[in-house]
Each structure stands twice: as C-alpha cells, then as structure tokens.
A and B are shown apart, each in its own frame.
Chain A
Amino acid sequence: MNPDTFDPNFKIPAPERIGDERGSLTRLVQEMVFTVDHKRLGLMYIGSGLLFFVIAGIMAAMIRIQLAVPRNDFLEPDVFNRLFTMHGTAMVFLVGMPIIFGFANYLVPLMIGARDMAFPRLNAFGFWVFFFSGLLLYFSYLGAPGLYAAGSAPDVGWFAYSPLTAKAFSRGHSTDYWTLSLLMGGIGSLVTSINIIVTTLCLRCKGMILGRMPLFVWLFLVVAFLVIIAIPPLSACQIMLILDRYFGAKFFDTQAGGSAVLWQHFFWIFGHPEVYILILPGFAIASEVIPVFSRKPIFGYPVMVAASVMIAFISLGVWAHHMFSVGMTSIGNTFFAISTLLVAIPTGIKIFNWIGTMYGGKLRFELPMLFCIGFLFQFLIAGLTGVMLAIAPFDWQLTDSYFVVAHFHYVLIGGLLFTIFAGIYYWYPKALGKMPDFRLGLCHFILFTVGFHITFFPQHIAGFLGMPRRIYTYDTGRGWDAWNLISTIGVIFQAAGILFFVVNLIYSYIWGKKAGDDPWDAWSLEWSTTSPPPSYNFETIPEVRSRRPLWDLKHPDDPDWKYE
C-alpha cells in the first residue's frame, strides 16, 4: 500500500483534460477542483483564508471609520450591526480556521515523512465544504431578504445570543445563513481534524516516534483533538436553533420554559476551546521558527508538549468566564475564575521556554523571527489582560467593553496573525521555491506592528472609560473621542502593512531569488526535499533517529541521536 521507495515511472492515469495547455486558466481551475494533493489543498486553504481576511479586514476598517468621531453617520446602524457580525464570524471561521488547517495540511505530512494525508479525498471534501460555507455566509447579503423583504446579512453578533436569533426578532433568513454556514463549516473542520489525527498517528515514517515529532505536529495533534471535541457543541447549537426557528422547538424560548442562558453555555463550550484551537497553531509556528533562528534546539521539548496538552485540557473547563455577568452562583464564578487563571501556568511555561530557546542563541533577525518576537511581546500583553478579565469582579466591571475587544484582538492579531505571517514568510520558500523579499517584508512588519498597537492599545483605555463594544456611535464629552480617533488612525498603518505583504507575496513569486531546498538551514524533514516539493514529497521515505533529523544528515560527525 505505502511503498518505501517511489517508482518515478509510475503515472497516475490522468483524467480527461479540459484546457489543453499547461498554465491556461481552465486547466488551472480544473486542477484545483480535481486535486487531492495535501500541498495544493493546503495552499488553497491559506489562499482562500487570505481572501476572506481581506474582505473581513475591509469590514473592520469600515467599523473603525464609523467610530472615528462621535455622532458619525458614515454607516447606518443596521449596516453596522451586520458588519461587526460578519467581521467576527468571518475572521474566526473563514480566516483563522482555514489558514491553520492550510498550514496543517501542507506541513504535517512533510514533517512526519509521509506522502500525503491519510485520506486525501476526504481532505479535498473538507476544503470544498469550508469554501462553500464561506460563500454561503457571504451570499446572505444577496439571498437573506428572501420573500419577506426583511434582513440582509446576519446581524446578531458572532456569538448570536438568544433571543436575538428567535424568529420574532430575526425575521427573514439572515440568521439561517449564519446557522447553515457554521453547520457546514463545522463538518469541514471535523473531517479535516480527523484526517490530521489519523495522519499523525498512523503515517509517521520509520523512527518518528511521538517523542521525536516536531512540536508543530504535536500541537496540531492537540488542536485536532480539541476540534473534534469542541465543534460538536457548536453544531448542536445550530441544530437546536434550526429546530427552534422552523419546527417550533422550545430550546431557547424563555416563554415556554426554555433558557436563553443555555445557548450561552453551549456556545461557549465550543467558543472557548475555539480560542485555543486558533492560538495553539500560533504556538506551533513559533516553536518551529524560534529554534531555527536562534540556532538552538527548542528548550524543554517534553515540557512544551505537556504544557500544550495541559492547555487543551484546561480549555475545556473555562467556558463560563465569558458569562460572569449573567448571574451564576458564586461557586460557579469561583470555579471558572480559578480554572481560567490556571491556563496562565502552561502558557507561561511556553513563553519562558521560547525565551529560554533564544537565550544564549545566535539570533538571526529574518522576517519569520521578527514576527515571532512581536508575537512574544504582544501575546504576553494579551495573556495579562486575560488574567485580569478572569477575575470575576474585574470582569463585571469591564465585560462587553472595549477592554475585551482590545484583549482578544491582542490574542488573535498580536498572537495568531503575527505567527501566521511568520509561518508564511518561513515556509514561503518551501512552498513556492522563491525567497520572500526582506525589505518589503520589513516594511510590512514595521507598519503592521505600529498600526496594530496604535489601533488596539487605546481600546484598553476606552474600555476603562466605559465604552461598550458593538455601539454604533457615541456622544462627545465622555472622554472616548481621542482614543477612538487614534484607534482609527492605526488602521491606515495596518492597511499599508497588509498592502506591503500582498505586494511581497506577488513580487517575490515573480522576481524573488531562488530559494533552494533549505534556505534557513533548518532541521525538520520538510526542508530535506525540493522546493516546492514534488507531488510524492520524498523520493525515499526518510528514517528518523532524533528530533532534528536534518541536523543528523548535515552533521554526521555530531548527530543529535547520540545525546537524546
């Protein structure tokens, strides 16, 4: 079934081609639709994620323009509601999830020395289900009015608290588009995660025992387990909502004995692990980039693995810290406050281990490393505001304020997006065979970092001053004006940074210098094959004897396995 050596003369019988010439558009589309190759699907995931990122980013910019000055009328109130709903939903489900799955798809088989994912066709199915769920969500702008001439895109917020979603308050089909899109996207995430678990556990090359797997693979194994436990509650929520809206069920109907709070519990049982589903891949990328650019093996490998598993485990028991203001018992509040504070321990271990890796290393400030260093600082701030919000009385004061908005944007942009940029710059040479341009990347890094802090740091203060999230406009004289204006100015820098990023991706692809197989002098298996890798990945399946197989190959006189 899985031959150890690849027969180069073997050809997969090609299906009938539509476009005759290689490189023609029809041919390209056909290849994308037909492909089951994990590398191509990975790039398609990341590409469509970036596409949705730009759309949802433009929505965020419109929100900021509306809030730049008091009593602004750039947007209608109902348009504003749709924008923050679509921005949040898209950033989580159509940007974060596909990009991390893209990385997993592309890199997990390469890193463990496999030829493809365990179930390639299921993999393609997962991608297309995700992609069409994204289109379905955005189609709501056109389709949702339906016959009722009411509603447009979803406007219930990304966590869609009941009873906003009840038939009486959400007429037309806007909520149904949201529901069906998430239900569909959930199926895609589930099959992809099962695929990642099976690939990791069953397709490792000879010698790649669990204790030698790259941390990247370890973290994605943990993420995949979190996905298959956390996504079903979301799917259950959506099924219940459909039953409520179309079959008269009473799950969230408070007048018939139903409970609106139950929705909050069920949603956040999904929603909080989801935060870790998104941030652990960021840790995965940092754990690959930081050692390579510090020229040292990762500090405390077993502890890093244990900390990741611990984070995943604790994350299943912290959901109600999103609900302190709902009026739980004091035992409930105390439990969830303590469990949330516990997360800080393994996370702190990780941060110290990354610093420990850098300490005494020979640092190379290439683009991936720059973004990872930014990540370390910003994620620390995000973690500290997280600890503040975990304290229930503090949360009562600041929940649903801009302090919370600032906190989770520091997590998701300062933490996740920065590591995604690091990952894209780090593996760009592997995937496309060209080096990313350093000067353009540096402009991207500086502009985006500066813009990010200008936008989101003042939101902490606006939150302290009592500015609630999701308000469409505000009166002057509350002390919020300056902070909001500064926040909006930051968007210009961020947008300029993203522009440099996009230009860099295209420029380097066309004019970048050739990368070679191993431009960063790295140690994991993906760098042992050509750039870009052939469809069969490795000519001979490698055999692994240590955590840094490529180091062993490059330094036969001083291999790692002698010391492990």
Chain B
Amino acid sequence: MSTAAAPSTDWKLPSTRKVAVISLILTESALFTIFLVAYLFYMGKSLNPPYPAQVLEFPLLATIALLSSSITIVISERALHAGKKGAFHLWWAITIALGAYFLWFTAMEWKHLIFERDLTLATNVFGTTFYSLVGLHASHVIIGLFLLTLVLVLSLLGKVPADHTEHLEMISWYWHFVDVIWIVVVTVVYIISTRIT
C-alpha cells in the first residue's frame, strides 16, 4: 500500500487474481477432461458386473443442492456488496450447508455401492473410472468447502477487510466451476452411461 500517485486511468490491465483463477480453471478443466475421456473410453467395456445401469441412481437431491449453492453464493456476494454483513454470513453458510449435503450424499452413495453392490475401484473398469472421476470431483468439492468455511470463520472473527470482495469473488468462481463440472459428470455418468450399459 502506498500513497504514490494513482496509476493513470488510460492504462488498464486485467486483475492478477482473475487471470490466475481463470488459468487455474483452464488447467483443472484439462485434468477433468482426461478422466472424463477415460470414463467414456471404458464405457461398456467392463468384463464383469456390476454395470452402471444396474447400480447407479440419478442423484437428484444432491444435484439440486450443488447447483442451487451456485445461486446462494451469488446472493451472498450481492449482500456483501450492499454492505449487509448479516445476510452475507447467512447465505454463505447456506452455501456451505448445501455443499456439505452434496458431499454427505456422495459418501452415502459410495457406502451403498461398496458394501451392498460390491463395486470398488478394483472391481472392473467401470468401478475404476467411476470412482476416479466422481472422486476427483468430490475432492474439488472438499477443497471448495474448506475455502468457504475458512472465509466464514475469518469473516465472523472480523478478519475479512471490506476491500477483499474480489478475493471472495474468486472463491465463488471456483465454486461455479465445480458446479459446471458436476453438470458434465452427472450427464456422462448418470444419464448417458446408464442408458448405454
């Protein structure tokens, strides 16, 4: 922070944070693409059951929860911009709750698949690609939840300065990215592959 003359207005450069987060999202997308391609490549190539159509059920509630968390985080940000601290905390906490519900749902689904349907990473190529793809996404949800919770705790302690709204916006961008990835994953895994195999 300095009191030096403000940079002249006719020379504007993009924000470092925004470019960094866009680059991060680009590189993460490349990572997800490979696991998605692996899933698509092995679709219908399992030599032994269980097959997707037998064990997978469309995760309706979890999908609704995760997708609506993208809306609640936007409402939360708007509240912050309007200076309503209480509303910001409330909607931010709802976002965390929705994300946590999604994660809990995945955990229950995996428990069901592993213990009642005997589908593990080592069962067949469906199990291998299913758990690695959904697990990769779930690990991103965990990272997102960690960041969201960190912000909530710091904000409740009063340690998030007013000019840090862009920092929070970056977290919301990441969270939107996790949501978009889920739309692709859910389409490929729960809709396409259960129809075909």
A interface, CB within 8 angstroms of B:
1-5, 7, 118-119, 190, 193-194, 197-198, 201-204, 206-207, 228-233, 235-237, 239-240, 243, 247-251, 256-259, 262, 266, 269
Contact = CB atoms under 8 A, between A and B. Distances in A.
Given A118-B20, A204-B13, A256 B34 contact: no
Interface stretch (B21-29, B94-102, B152-160): B21-29
A95 to B, nearest CB: 23
13 contacts: A5-B4, A194-B24, A202-B14, A203-B13, A228-B26, A228-B30, A233-B31, A236-B35, A247-B121, A249-B121, A256-B124, A257-B45, A257-B46
B122 interface: yes
B11 interface: yes
Contacts of B27: 190, 194, 228-229, 231-232
Contact of A2 (B7, B34, B45, B47): B7
| Number of chain B interface residues as a range | 35 or more
Nearest to B132: A243
B60 interface: no
Contacts of A198: 16, 19-20, 23
A493 B30 CA distance: 43
Interface in B130-171: 132
A231 B121 CA distance: 25
Nearest to B27: A228
A203 B7 CA distance: 12
Contacts of A235: 31
Contact of B23 (A197, A247, A266): A197
Contacts of B1: 1
A272 to B, nearest CB: 14
Interface string B90-129: 0000000000000000000000000000001110110111
B2 interface: yes
B11 A251 contact: no
Nearest to B8: A206
Given A206-B11, A249-B121, A197 B30 contact: no
A309 to B, nearest CB: 16
Nearest to A541: B7
Contacts of A193: 23
A201 B121 contact: no
B11 A207 contact: yes
Given A201-B19, A202-B14, A249-B128, 9 more contacts: A5-B4, A118-B20, A119-B16, A201-B14, A228-B27, A233-B30, A236-B34, A239-B132, A240-B38
A258 B125 contact: yes
Contacts of B122: 247-250
B13 A202 contact: yes
Interface centre among A190, A198, A203 (most CB of B within 10 A): A198
Contacts of A1: 1-2
Contacts of B42: 257-259
